[in-house]
Structure 1
Amino acid sequence: MTHSNQSSNRQVRPQQLKVGIRWDFQNVYLSEEQARLLLAFAITKGSLISTRVYYNSLFETQASAKEKLQRIGFKCEDVTCSLKNSADNQLKSDLIDDVYNNHSPEIVILVSGDGDFANLVKFLQEKGIYVIIFAQRGNVKQRLKELADEFHFVDELPQFVNNKTQPQTTYIEFQINYNEAIEYLIESIKTSLSQGKPTVFGYIDKLMRQRCHRYQGFSSISMSDGKKFKNFSQFIDAAISDAKVKKQGQELFLIELDKLAA
């Protein structure tokens, strides 16, 4: 049964809000059709900026779902750790980091019935974030259900999506062109420098992913000739060749900053 927390004072205006999905795959299994419906539901709430599903490839049943989920638009975060709640903890950590770095969506759709997320939900709500929870029947903690601004069971997904919506309309194209990628590269280097963090490849790539949900790594960059970069280093080499950035050791720097300092 659908539940809406009437005590919430937050007013949701879908056309103005950014939406993000955070899915605990180990706690809630969705078929490909249900996953598509989840995407379609999220789109009805606003502008979908992120779609992360947390899984553990050490478990065969979870690893086998990765390719299908990526194909329809999910970013799969593989947490290969045998410790209990490792994927849950990574989900919490990433979302809290997004909040403190001002990259959090205004609506978070949390797919889990795990009571361990109760404190996270309260934290998000204290930051003014509207939390929608989807869980499976018989596998949800009452406290989590009561805390949600909206609560739904996953088998209710079809009723939220217009019958005319076809699966292909929920597909999200994760591609950006080379010039866009350069803009996000420069912005990420500036951010890293302002944070006092090393501008190494891995951290810059992470910041680029946070700033653009369509950027899913070097393979999502589309060049004008249709070719793809083989790795992130090749993309950086192209940026260096175009005099957009320079490299010193393993760190990246902006040429324009050097010009200002001269």
Structure 2
Amino acid sequence: MANANQNQNAQTSQKQPKVGIYCDFQNVYLNQELAMNLLAFANARGSLISRRVYYNSLYENQASAKENLRSIGFKCEDVTCSLKNSADNQLKSDLIDDVCNHQSSDIVILVSGDGDFANIVQILQSNGKNVIIFAKRGNVKQKLKERANEFYFVDELLKLVENKTQLVKTANQSQINYNDAIEYLIESIKTASNQRKSTACGYIDNLMRQRYVNYQGVSSILTPDGKRFSRFGKFIDAAIKDGKVTIQNQKLCLIELDELAT
């Protein structure tokens, strides 16, 4: 009986989306209380597999504060460089490396308001990642805020953590079936086309998350036979194979619109 329970628990754990935290300490200062709330938020969303803080020990306030974060399990990456954006440059590099090495989490929690991360967020989304941004009030670029799947200010963390019902509900929405995802895909391409916006995969994935409540917080799309697409691009490949959409010059097009154009 014990083995059966262990197997059941293991299967439940495997179904949880993997969550990773990447904190740009030069941009957003996290004290221990905020960091604890951030961990609680992350754990409510899935299985927390990594928690990293990027700082520069050449700055005295960063060097002293990192000990509190290390004591609660954060891996503190010291980027000792005199350049202004040294720590976040290392953070961006690690995010890309994790994706390329298939070590990236399903949900990426990025703590920064730096607009330079906007392109990295798009890359993550094009690889099927759900990106949640936390930033400091008065220190966030609009383009980063708009690109995030979810955006919050760090001073909202306590309220978010206390609202456990909302967090559990969102965490349970970790998967969506193929037919629903196709419907959202088609409608989002229509919307983007009518608004003369980009129909690139990353933008459409982001638009789907913005427009449809049932797609918000989703970490994976199920295949027609109940398995899981490893990333958003695989779902797009299936939609193309099924004749739902086409792709031209890295832009998604609807079949009927494409036929009218020819």
For normalisation by structure 1, the TM-score amounts to 0.56
* Alignment partner, residue 114 of structure 1: 114
Partners of 1:67 and 1:22 lie apart in 2 by 17
Aligned equivalent of 2:126: 126
1:126-149 residue CA offsets vs partner (Å, 9 max, x unmatched): 000000000011000000000000
Whether 2:14 is the aligned partner of 1:35: answer: no
Compared CA separation, residues 125 and 163, structure 1 to 2 (3 A)? closer
How far did residue 16 of structure 1 move?
1.8
SS at 1:43 equivalent? helix
The alignment's TM-score, normalised by the length of structure 2, stands at 0.56
The amino acid of 1:126's aligned partner reads S
Q: How does 1:16-165 map to 2 (within 5 A)?
A: 16-162=16-162
Q: Kindly tell me: are residues 155 and 118 of structure 1, through their superposed partners in 2, closer, same or farther at Cα, counting changes over 3 Å?
A: same
> For structure 1, which runs of at least 5 residues remain unmatched after alignment?
1-13, 165-262
Amino acid at match of 2:95: L
Q: Letter of the 2:111 partner, please give it.
A: V
- Return the alpha-carbon distance in structure 2 between the equivalents of residues 34 and 52 of structure 1: 14
**Secondary structure of 1:40's aligned partner:** helix
- For 1:31, give the aligned amino acid: N
CA contact (8 A) 1:15 1:45 kept: no
**8 A contact 2:112–2:134 mirrored in 1:** yes
Residue 144 of structure 2 aligns with an amino acid whose one-letter code is L
1: CA distance, partners of 2:163 / 2:107: 24
Q: How many residues align?
A: 151
**1:138-217 counterparts in 2 under 5 A?**
138-162=138-162
How far apart, CA to CA, are the structure 2 residues paired with 1:145 and 1:33? 24
Aligned residue runs from structure 1 range 211-250, under 5 A: none
Give 1:15 deviation, angstroms. 5.6
RMSD: 1.5
Instruction: Report what 2:257 is aligned to.
Output: none
Contact 1:15–1:47 (Cα < 8 Å) also in 2: no
Q: Which residue of the partner structure matches residue 231 of structure 2?
A: none
Question: How many Å separate the matches in 2 of 1:155 and 1:110?
Answer: 15
1:34-91 per-position Cα deviation (integer Å, ceiling 9, x unaligned): 1100000000010000000000000000000121100011100000001121111100
Q: What's the offset of the Cα at 1:162?
A: 3.3
- Give secondary structure in 2 for the equivalent of 1:84: coil
8 A Cα contact 2:31 2:65, kept in partner: no
**How many angstroms apart in 2 are the aligned matches of 1:83 and 1:153?**
26
2:108 counterpart SS class: strand
Go from structure 1 to structure 2 and tell me whether the alpha carbon gap of 1:163 and 1:107 turns closer, same or farther (over 3 Å shift): closer
The letter for the 2-side match of 1:33 is E
Q: Secondary structure at the match of 1:108?
A: strand
Kindly indicate which of the two structures has a greater share of residues assigned to helix: 2
Counterpart secondary structure, 1:143: helix
Instruction: Tell me the secondary structure at the aligned position of residue 161 of structure 1.
Output: helix
Aligned to 2:9: none
The amino acid across from 1:135 in the alignment is: A
Give the Cα–Cα distance (whole angstroms) in 1 for the partners of residues 66 and 24 of structure 2: 13
- The amino acid across from 1:29 in the alignment is Y
